Structure 1
Amino acid sequence: MSHTNLEPTKDTKSESDRDARILRQGRKLFIREFEKQLKQLNSLLDTIQSAPAADELNQFYRIIHTLKGSSPIFGYVRIGKLAEDLVRIWEWTQSLDSKIDEILVPISPVEESTARSVQILREMNMEYDIGLTEIQMDEQQDPGGGSMLGSLKSRLLLVDDDGVLRSYLTRRLQLDDCVVDEAADVESATKLLRQHTYDLVILDLMMHPQSGYELFEFLKEDPTLKWLPLIVLSGRNDLNDKVRCFHLGADDYVTKPFQYEELAARIYGLLKRTKNFEQLAFRDPLTGVFNRRYFDLQIGMELQRIERYPAPISLVFIDIDFFKKINDTYGHHVGDIVLQGLAHLLQTNLRSTDLLARFGGEEFVIALPNTAMEQAVTTVQEILNKVRANPVAQYEGRTFSITFSGGVAEWQQGMTVAEWVSKADEAMYQAKQQGRNRIMGAVQEENAAHSNKAATAQLVQKKNLLIVDDDPILRAILTSHLEHLAITITHAADGEKALDLLLSKKFDACILDGMMPKLDGFSLLEQMKKDSRLSKGDMKVLMLSGKKKEDDVVKGLHMGADDYMTKPFSLVELEARVKKLMNLE
């Protein structure tokens, strides 16, 4: 019986290697020739603009026609597409009679064709730059091309309304192993900034319809984004612009035109300094994982995301069993090695989206996004099994094995970060009480009610506040500032959602934004006056508005608002007014 060998033979492999080598050589020769052709095309276009003649037109057409056919053969599909666009633009020249070109050429569409060609040749020049870079990187042993920027593996946001430049910079930065998201305007950029976490923003200053200065304001007002590194690109070498940008928080200012290598070096330097600062400010120096300061900052951002895109998230509180005994018996240096070993094991068994931080001493905390409590318990139990199976540290030939106790709590609507951490900590304490070396899930709120009547009674007595505003950042700031009060806070992103909530639940007070999509605050007040089901009764309304006109203030108060504040406002003053309206003094 014969057997078919599915593995590639040595001859087949050598043929494949030879073909790849020939293609690489062909690409190199193509790019070298493409450089000459680009110079010719630019020179011919200048001549055609000033004194069009059949010879130059035919020569220009021959070159672009050649590029149209040859580029895709070597894998340069984009160059072929641009050449095809040029061929289409200049196709009319092929119907000219060379004997009467002096008569026909001046009345032909030369001006329109040359104007359209300038932009396409600009794109071709960028394609040449990218092609040359790819070849240079391919010739090096390191697939990353030895790029210093590539070593940082960063995620960048590029904001520029020039589609050609944006596409070019994106592809060059991707060659340097950066993940790049693009935005053509400020509105798109703000959406991306709310959805993703970036290491740096590259921002064009002069854009339409909104200038780059608008994004400065957005970044400045968001406490989670105000420290994000920012490089400004501008076509104006204007001192006032530079000074204004630096005052607003820009970290660097690059004037167009610029060399990519210079921009890449500036990005690298800024990211390197930022990462060094992060290492000092947000990393635990012993274990290398995040510290409590960073955890407090990041967990707030995670909850803001859940506010926009509801999903489960669980928190794990871990404490090493009998850690004091290790320190007392073997010394603190051994205890430090054990902490490093456990931190490493935790880090390598968690997802990149999970947040691990050292909370203090022998305690660690883990946030698991998109994870319900049952799933989180299973995940941490698997890690505990690995800790049991193998030593986490070794010192002077001696190995050290440990166990840990863990508590898991799933975040619930209305829960503060402090309450959330406390529930996970309580579950961990229960694990300790039941013999250590185990993972316990926190008792859910409905099950805990009958076992903690005092806490339930206190919860019932809390007054209800409804915050109605289409700005998620402002809602988060207001919640953060008011959540220490004895109140339960509910959110609505627009007037229509607020209507539904008002029909289904009683509120003691409402912070209402005047200007919102779908149904603004004034219209909502109007409906509350007309519809008996929505009668605000004892509910107090604090109106917020970006308009400072006296007519708007009078209008809001006339329609039933109990108080009125204009943006921007003092959070201290707002808290005082809320406490007064809700009788919390």
Structure 2
Amino acid sequence: MRQGRKLFIREFQKQLEQLQSLLMNIPDSPEVDDMQQFYRIVHTLKGSAPVFGYQRIGKLAEDLVRAWEWTQSLTPASEGTLLVMSTIAESAAASQVALRQMNMEYNICLTELQMDDQQNPGGGSLLGTLKSRLLLVDDDEVLRSYLTRRLQMDDCIVDEASDVETAKKLLREHTYDLVTLDLMMHPQSGYELFEFLKEDPTLKWLPLIVLSGRNDLNDKVRCFQLGADDYVMKPFQYEELAARIYSLLKRTKNFEQLAFRDPLTGVFNRRYFDLQIGMELQRIERYPAPISLVFIDIDRFKSINDGYGHHVGDLVLQGLAHLLQVNLRSTDLLARFGGEEFVIALPNTTAEQAIQIMQGILDKVRLKPVAQYEGHLFSITFSAGIAAWEPGLPVAEWISKADEAMYHAKQQGRNRVVGAQECIISDGSSQTSTSPAMKKRLLIVDDDPILRSILTSHLEHLPIEITHAPDGEEAHRLLQERTFDACILDGMMPKLDGFHLLELLKNNSNPVQRELKVLMLSGKKKEDDLVKGFQLGADDYMTKPFSLVELEARVKRLMQLE
């Protein structure tokens, strides 16, 4: 209908221009063909305008048809007669007024279409913008079928139930955004479903519209007391029902946004997670299935806040939340738990499957920055712990197990996924079961986050642990806390450059640090820098840009991986 109206208005504009042109010529030089063409145009408008809902235009066209009806009996021989000339003058005068009104109607209709395009550019009703899933409960097969077809045309997913028991079954199996319910059904009335919805904590907040053929005040009051959100009398116009459904769903989503969404990242908050996870476990107790919990913590998030400010930290949180959302299933439950921590519930997922899912997401996090600010790109990694739910396991203990597994991931070098039950550890894309204690450690020190991500992506298939440092000061701190076998070190960095860091390592009394194998990277090809690097203790030196294949070969040689 909307597209049809656009086509009609486009054609209506042309017809108005034709009518105005004919009306300018007819009084001065009347010709039968011109007058009869004028009649044909208004006769067409009389029939077509009401079809597209433009009743006012149709009425004006009907008035013009009557004003020019007499032209249908004219012949060329009638031109110029006194009777015809006087009639032309009368019809033309009436037409001037009608055409002015038609032009006003055209401008009004055009403005309405433009406003509609701005509010709903995708076309169709506003209900179609919400992509909702609805359950229709009614024993009237004809009405059910009609509403289903109309709602599906508005991009809704619709399920039908002809009785209360079928409705209960569907409500247990699927998640709905809204239910419409007929009161008068056989063998059970719609009131039976009210009790079912009220007693089930997973359904008690589900929006409900009653459709009833009874205009009974007691019924209306009772339905609202039982929890109905709206009451619509039969018969009704579909457009009104669709508007009521849209209004109710939109209001519900707004409430949800305020009460259950984290305002910074847009994902669910802890309050919603606590409520929803309990409902999910109740469902699993009725219909047993595996479910796993993921506890995520961004690695070294404090250094981002301290080094770049909380506004950058907020951008990083938003970036990671978005990446998690687009890589999870619609059935997964993602929430911000607090600070830089996120939790994810993965229904129908074992711990092993959860590890594979989260490792895939971690690989994507490593590959590209999650935030950008004033030309600076920010890359991160995260540590994740995973715990599978077991019957009888309290939610608090379940969360604690996932949190503990995440803590182990931190202890083992961060930037990894650890399973709580079997201590399944996945680091990089390799599926080997090498113990982290047996792996050699590589430190990548570079202020270019993109280069760090590229190097990590290219080297992570090796049986090594990879740690990042964005500057020399952070690298120095890490080297004091942990032991590394090799280091890829950029020569030019803020705070503490690579050459000064090498000098600190050379003068360090710790023999382990002095034995660290260092591969220097530099954007300068000066021979003095090359000599300086080797004098300070570098074991190898490469200038940018370099071959990743060659770099990998040199890293393997330095770390004795061949």
Q: What TM-score results when the alignment is normalised by the length of structure 2?
A: 0.53
Does 1:302 find its partner at 2:280? yes
Give matches, 1:379-458, under 5 Å.
379-444=357-422
Cα separation, 2, equivalents of 1:225 and 1:158: 15
Deviation of the 1:386 alpha carbon: 1.1
Q: Which residue of 2 aligns with 1:291?
A: 269
The partner residue of 1:225 within 167, 190, 203 is: 203
* Distance (whole Å) between structure 2 residues aligned to residue 376 and residue 144 of structure 1: 37
Q: Does 2:239 align with 1:261? A: yes
Q: CA deviation at 1:444?
A: 4.7
Q: In the alignment, what sits opposite 1:311?
A: 289
d(CA) in 1 for partners of 2:260 and 2:233? 33
The amino acid of 1:435's aligned partner reads G
> Letter of the aligned partner of 1:397 in structure 2?
G
SS at match of 2:263: coil
Q: CA shift at 1:354, angstroms? A: 1.1
Which of structures 1 and 2 has the bigger CA Rg? 2
Kindly state the Cα deviation for residue 435 of structure 1 after the two structures are TM-superposed: 1.1
The CA distance in 1 between the partners of 2:292 and 2:138, in whole Å, is 38
User: Does 2:345 match 1:367?
Assistant: yes
2:408 and 2:370 map into 1 onto residues whose CA distance is 24
SS of structure 2 residue aligned to 1:315: strand
Query: In 1, distance between residues paired with 2:313 and 2:153?
Result: 44
1:413 is matched by which residue type in structure 2? Answer: P
8 Å CA contact retained: 1:312, 1:371: yes
Return the letter of the residue paired with 2:215: N
Residue of structure 1 in register with 2:147 after alignment: 169
Structure-2 separation of matches of 1:274 and 1:322 = 38
Q: In structure 1, how many angstroms separate the alpha carbons of the residues matched to 2:171 and 2:318? A: 34
Aligned CA RMSD, in angstroms, stands at 2.3
Q: 1:191 to 1:143 in 2, by over 3 A?
A: farther
Q: Does 1:241 align with 2:219?
A: yes
How big is each residue's C-alpha offset from its partner over 1:255-277, in whole Å with a ceiling of 9 and x where there is no partner?
A: 00000000000000000000000
> Aligned letter for 1:217?
E
Paired residue secondary structure (2:253): helix
In 2, are the aligned partners of 1:144 and 1:176 still within 8 Å (CA)? no
1:195/1:305 contact within 8 Å kept: no
Inter-CA distance 144–206: structure 2 relative to 1 (3 Å threshold): farther
**Aligned with 1:188 (options 159, 166, 172):** 166
Paired amino acid for 2:414: R
What is the alpha-carbon distance in structure 2 between the residues aligned to residue 204 and residue 228 of structure 1?
16
Unaligned 5+ segments in structure 2 are 1-46, 52-116, 424-562
Alignment-mate amino acid for residue 249 of structure 2: L
- What are the Cα deviations for residues 434-467 of structure 1, in whole angstroms up to 9, with x where unaligned? 111111000259xxxxxxxxxxxxxxxxxxxxxx
Q: 3-state SS of the aligned residue for 1:157?
A: strand
Alignment counterpart, residue 146 of structure 1, candidates 124, 149, 159: 124
Q: CA deviation at 1:144?
A: 6.1
Contact persistence 1:431–1:439 (CA under 8 A): yes
Q: Which amino acid aligns with 1:200?
A: L
CA distance in 1, matches of 2:413, 2:369: 21
Counterpart CA distance in 2 for 1:418 and 1:204 is 41
Corresponding residue for residue 212 of structure 1? 190
Asked whether the equivalents of residues 296 and 384 of structure 2 are also in contact (C-alpha less than 8 Å), the reply is yes
- Alignment-mate amino acid for residue 402 of structure 1: I
In structure 1, what is the equivalent of residue 8 of structure 2?
A: none
Separation in structure 1 between the aligned mates of residue 400 and residue 374 of structure 2, nearest angstrom:
39
What amino acid maps onto 1:165 in structure 2?
Answer: L
Q: How does 1:51-90 map to 2 (within 5 A)?
A: none
Q: Distance in 2 between the 1:309 and 1:223 partners?
A: 16
| Contact 2:387/2:420 (<8 A) preserved | yes
Q: Which runs of 5+ in 1 are unaligned?
A: 1-31, 37-139, 446-585
Alpha-carbon distance in 2 for matches of 1:306, 1:250? 28
Q: Does 1:376 align with 2:359?
A: no
Question: Sequence identity, in percent?
Answer: 84
Shift of 1:156: 0.6
For 1:429, the aligned partner's letter is Y
Per the alignment, residue 282 of structure 1 pairs with: 260
Equivalent pair of 2:385/2:417 in contact (CA under 8 Å):
yes
Aligned-pair CA distance for 1:146: 2.6
